[in-house]
Chain A
Amino acid sequence: MTRYIIRRLLLSIPVLLGVVILVFILARIIPGDPCRAALGERATDAICNAFNVRYGLDQPIPVQFLTYVGNVATGDLGDSIRFGRPVSQILVERLPVTLELTVYALIFAAVFGILLGRLSAIRRNSPIDVATMVVANLGVSIPVFVLGLFFAYLFAVVLKGTPLSLPPSGRLTPGVEVIPLAKAWGLTSLGGPPRVVLDFLSNVNTINAVLTLNGSLLVDTLRHMILPAVALGTIPMAIIARMTRSSLLDVLGLDYIRTARAKGVRERDVVAKHGMRNALLPVVTVIGLSLGGLLSGAVLTETIFNLAGIGRTITEAIQGRDYIIIQGVVIIVAIIYIVVNLVVDISYALLDPRIRLT
């Protein structure tokens, strides 16, 4: 097991290096001058020269690349050209928004996908099964931006004034206060990596609300998250439902299930204890793989629901030709993605003892 994990970790290194190279190349060949994008069209050549020296843009490309790889390896993602702040700081502020959104979307997708798929498989060919599969087929055919806008209209306009009305934009209602954890716990003097972790957790509103026992913040956060998370989670939910259904149907046709039934095990237990446990293996993989789709969808969802996460950060950075932010965000997202895939692979092996890892 340990050997497998080490081998997988080593195998991710060339992929990571490839990611860094690709991102670096893409960021360099974006048309347009970063200096004039940051300082405006009227910046003089002298100012631009100073600008290029400051950001190392006057160095030969290979030198820029090596400097960059060295910095990334030590956790320094550079300073944003437009905001003049470290990219890591921007990530600490904005990654929590995306994290919250994708985690809620994933929870929604996994819970409802598995429930629907299971229901569908148990009641095979019944009207419930047909209806569920129609929903699942629709789910994979709806673009997240159409569903998001539809939800925004439905819950903010049609249902306005009813208890079901939900806010269609932003992260919090104006006036709801977030107290940084560092301040709440009197740790403002804390510095270094622990402070970064603390600030990151503090910016995840759900965690902040739970840790500071702030009920109104929790309720407001959840109310703002429902629409984007459901919109974002619908496509993976549909995929998970289809996977659960076909996987459970496969498993329920196996001999050991017949044995269990012959022994007189209650049908409910046959499905729950014997069937689902084995049927969920491929579903775990699908859940892990859907993370890429969620991170892609987050770009659109954050745009529609006005959430300042990394999806919106990257579209803004592209418009402003802020190479440094683009590089930093894309690399961080790729690292998250690679790590999650690694975890999925390993958990797959842990769940299924038949898989022998070498």
Chain B
Amino acid sequence: MTLHAEPFSIEIADPLAGQKPVSLLRDTLRNILRQRSAIVGLTALAFLVLVAIFAGVIAPFDPTQPLLGIEENARPRLAPCIHLLGCPAGQPEHLMGLDGNARDVFSRVVFGSRVSLQIGFLTVGFAIILGTIIGSIAGFFGSRADNVLMRLMDVLLAFPALLLAIAIVTVLGPGLINAQLAIGIVAIPVYARVMRASVLSIRGQDFVAASQALGESSGGILMRRIVPNALTPLIVQGTLGIAGAIIDVAALSFLGLGAQPPLAEWGSMIGDERNAVFSAPHLVLVPGIAIIITCLSFNLLGDGLRDALDPRLNR
């Protein structure tokens, strides 16, 4: 019996030969950029990041320095003075006026962007890391670990978030770091649940079984096979979570439990001047609008990411 080496030598053109290989990253990026809300969000965010980086250049005054006695005519809650709008040239320009301690509000709002962006990323980062660990352990090892960890998460979820955060800050003592820690702890269950759900759906798939058959350790499978494949919903949830974290930490600062004076933080700026809202509303509205813009851009980006990354949506 002889084997015919190549009985037929018909050339069939590779149907994919003409196409460039599509990289996953580029595909994802293209999908994201197709989302209008993601573009708006990214643009606004880029603007905020630039403001935060160049705060020292943009802000005309030291955000923590009361100008009383340093500058002529400076007094608490001085109305805004904008030269372009007819404010006498002899008077120093304060785009958004002075606050109750005679500090330049514009400079404080500009420097506040640094604090708020840092709050958003650190708080959510903390919650995501712990949530991922808890969720993947619960989802991967199942049974008892799952029960104990998830009941613990249920207990955290049984409290209205801000109330629990207030209780935690009370124990830790007021301060920006503690406020972030409290909001981070309160946010853990959300990420743990998202992670657990992804891990559960991935754990049964063939490539995981293949890794097991190849003798990879449980930890290795979890870290190298499952977690990277479960990150997408976490990224979407995290982006939306940043907006929530910024609002919640600002709320604690508003109540006096977060950022302490003289730090320029938007929530505490509003809290400090809340009784002045009837006479000098801009002192409350300006930092308020800053919070809204920041959260809106994270929310838009998060929505866009979700639409771009969700494989169930037809594009």
Give A contacts to B, CB under 8 Å.
14-16, 18-19, 22-23, 26, 29-31, 137-138, 140-146, 149-150, 152-153, 156-157, 168, 292-293, 295-297, 299-300, 303-304, 314-315, 318, 326, 330, 333-334, 337-338
CB closest chain-A residue, reference B147 = A14
Q: Is B285 within 8 A of A150, CB to CB? A: yes
- The verdict on A14 contacting B151 (CB below 8 Å), with A146-B292, A300-B254 known, is yes
List chain A residues, Cβ under 8 A from B158.
Answer: 15-16, 18-19, 334, 337-338
Q: Mark B142-169, 1 if CB is under 8 A from A, else 0.
A: 0000000001101100111111101110
Interchain nearest-CB distance for B10 vs A (Å): 46
Chain B residue at minimal CB-CB distance from A168: B278
Interchain CB contact under 8 A, A315 and B291? no
Q: How far is the CB of A291 from chain B (nearest CB, A)?
A: 8
Residue of A nearest to B298 (CB): A141
Q: Which residues on B are within 8 Å of A, measured CB to CB?
A: 37, 151-152, 154-155, 158-164, 166-168, 170-171, 173, 243, 247, 250-251, 254-255, 267, 270-271, 274, 277-278, 281, 284-285, 288, 291-292, 295-296, 299-300, 303
A137 to B37, CA, bound (A): 10
Q: Which 3 A-B pairs have the closest CB atoms?
A: A296-B162, A18-B155, A146-B288
Are B291 and A146 in touch, CB under 8 angstroms?
yes
A17 to B65, CA, bound (A): 50
Q: Can you give 22 A-B contacts (C-beta < 8 A)?
A: A18-B155, A19-B158, A26-B168, A26-B170, A26-B171, A140-B295, A141-B295, A143-B254, A146-B291, A149-B288, A153-B277, A153-B285, A157-B281, A296-B163, A299-B166, A299-B255, A303-B255, A318-B166, A326-B170, A333-B163, A337-B158, A337-B159
Question: Which one of B154, B159, B164, B292 has the highest number of Cβ atoms from chain A below 10 Å of its Cβ?
Answer: B159
Closest residue of A by beta carbon distance from B254:
A145
> Do residues B155 and A299 form an inter-chain contact, with CB atoms below 8 A?
no
A31 x B163 contact (CB < 8 A): no
Query: In the complex the two chains form, is B163's CB within 8 Å of A29's CB?
Result: no
A15-B158, A153-B278, A303-B255 provided; 9 other pairs, C-beta below 8 A? Answer: A15-B154, A19-B158, A26-B168, A141-B295, A149-B288, A150-B285, A157-B278, A292-B160, A315-B166
Report if A145-B251 is in contact (Cβ < 8 Å); known contacts: A295-B160, A296-B162, A333-B159.
yes
Would you call B160 and A296 a contact (CB within 8 A)? yes
Which residues of A are found within 8 Å of B160, using beta-carbon distances?
A: 292-293, 295-296, 333, 337
Contacts of A30 in B (CB 8 A): 170-171
Say yes or no: A15-B155 contact (C-beta < 8 A), given A138-B296, A314-B163.
Answer: yes
Contact B277 A330 (CB under 8 A): no
The 8 Å CB contact of A330, one of B154, B167, B243, is: B167
* Listed residue (A138, A292, A304, A338) with the most chain B CB atoms within 10 angstroms of its CB: A292
Return chain B residues, CB-CB under 8 Å to A292. Answer: 159-161
Docked pose: A326 CA to B254 CA in angstroms: 20
**Nearest-CB residue, chain A, relative to B186:** A296
Chain B contacts of A303 at CB under 8 A?
255
B39 to chain A, nearest CB (A): 14
B residues within 8 A CB of A315? 166, 255
Asked if B277 and A152 make an inter-chain contact with CB atoms under 8 angstroms apart, the answer reads: yes
The residue among B37, B151, B162, B170 with the most chain A CB atoms within 10 A of its own CB is B170
A15-B155, A18-B155, A153-B278 are known contacts. Are A145 and B167 too (CB-CB below 8 A)? no
Q: How far is the CA of A137 from the CA of B296 in the complex (A)?
A: 7
Smallest CB gap from A146: residue in B: B288
**Cβ B167 vs Cβ A326 within 8 A:** yes
Known A-B contacts A149-B270, A326-B167, A337-B158; A156 and B278 likewise in contact (beta carbons under 8 Å): yes
The residues of A that contact B278 with a CB separation of less than 8 Å are: 152-153, 156-157, 168
| A300 close to B251 (CB less than 8 A) | yes
A114 CA to B6 CA, complexed, in Å: 69
